[in-house]
Structure 1
Amino acid sequence: MKKLKLLAAAASFAALTSAAMAGTIGFSSPNFDDNFQTVLRETAKSHAEKLGHSIQIEDAREDVGMQLSQIQNFIASGVDAIILAPVSAAATPQITKMAEAAGIPLIYVNRRPADLDKLGDKAAFVGSDETWSGTLEAFEICNQAAGTGKAVMLMGILSNEAAVTRSEDVREVLKLSMCKGIELIAEQEAKWQRTEANNVVANWLSSGKDFNIVFANNDEMALGALQALKAAGVNMDDVLVGGVDATADALASMKAGELDVTVFQNANGQATGAVDAAISAMEGNALPNWINIPFELVTPANVDKYMGNN
């Protein structure tokens, strides 16, 4: 009987310990309508729940004020950790201070915070080095174009560090001697969105702009550009279009002979890495300020390797 009581007590203690370890993570997504961010948040949710934690996800709708309010609500509700892809890098120092004052672990994912070098032991950035994203895209398009052509560029929301960096990457690559025959004749913000990019490119075409290369800061905008080009009757063999993210839709477009270049940004790797970092910090472990998930170039030659990854 004593042995049975001891076993029952041990089982009860194990259950209590397991419940105590289970935590709640608040996740602020910048945009539910973005395909890459959708993969990111859904993978994070699945991974957290698989590990026994609950996750509360909110849509900031690319609104800084809304995201700040969500962070405040997470803190007020007593979440055990916060994960977010910031709407604006400029707001991250304030967010970092809010979480630090509350003693809550904070994980930035996908979009690099402005205060990366000042994050404490309970905060980290899980994401890729943006200096490689636009660089890989632009270098490969330059190579495929044999260093000549007229180009346009579709940029993400310019309050995002990724949009600024990827755009500058393209400009820097075009300064290389191998790309000196490529002229960048127009660039415009298209807010990461397929519809916005479609409208921008359609307007360029209707205004008589003559171009045969499209650099896009992400795949959604690249796909929007392709929609506009096809609607205008442009032969896909006569234009080069590149993006970043290697989303499922982008890879399907590449397999169909439309998209020419993308750069694999590992949404699943970033999401699981962010959740793992949050749990580690919840358990009292110190975090590095940056957990890097490398970019990888994707072309029609190796596209099959990436099918189903994002």
Structure 2
Amino acid sequence: MSDKFYSRVSNTFLGIALVFVMFLIITDNVLPFSTNATVKSESLEIVPRVSGRIDSVLVESGDEVKVGTPLISIDNTDYSLALDKTRSLLKKAKSDLQEARKTHTRNRKLLKKGLVSQQNYEITENAYTVSQLALEQANIDYARAKLDFDRTNIKSNANGIVANLSIIRGTYASSGNTIGHIITSRKWIEAAFPEKSIDTFSKGTLVWVVLDAKPGQVFTGHVNYIEPASQSGINSPQNLSAVKSDTRWIRAQHKNVIRINLEVELEIPSGGMATVMLQGRGLNRTISYSWMKGISLFRYLY
């Protein structure tokens, strides 16, 4: 009796092991499956283009903004003074050029009549040229001062949600330093698959997607593109070739990243985890959906 019992138990475990091995073979070669998938989204940095004290913060993390929405204003006192100064210099440069033009025109007429020397004419001609260059530089200085003044008002350059806004009124903001982010609504899935299964995918290939944030639901997605390279496969010009040391008996599988777009738009946070599986066709499609449906239900527990 005990021998039969142990024999049945052994056969059962052996059968389970064989089924598991077959499942691994199928998921690697026929219906690739990956739990190493993450929800990604675009994150645009909020970066001041000028430095100064924060005069007012008009939004906070979590606020929805659109292109052109005012976000932050920087104290513009110094920039206003600089703008007024360059405006005055521009006005003076225009006046100087006008005077130099009149003198140059008058001396040119006098030169033709022989009433002024060539040397005096060349002096006025050089002065006229210098005035033209001075006006060009004054225009450049004014445009730069105007641009800096306008940049004291930081506006959103995308539609999205403000996140991680790490600044308050009165603090100093440095030009070029990130002070927050805008997370756009555009989201996608990045899934890592063993390289031997990459041949089963191409642009437009349909996949099943289970999101940890949406248990019990199975979504359809399609492959947008396959990443053409990974960090380990890029050899920088300034670096010599490197040999990666490996002390494992069995080498870990290399994985390639596939970008997947969902067929529906969902309000889900970026960074969330997902599971992805090739849909396949016919019976394979039924099998893959059943498996993913089971995983989606399991997400209620874990």
* TM-score, normalised relative to structure 2: 0.23
Instruction: Compare relative contact order (CA 8 Å, sep 6+) and give the higher one, 1 or 2.
Output: 2
Which structure's residues are more often helix, by fraction?
A: 1
Which structure's residues are more often strand, by fraction?
A: 2
Rg larger for: 2
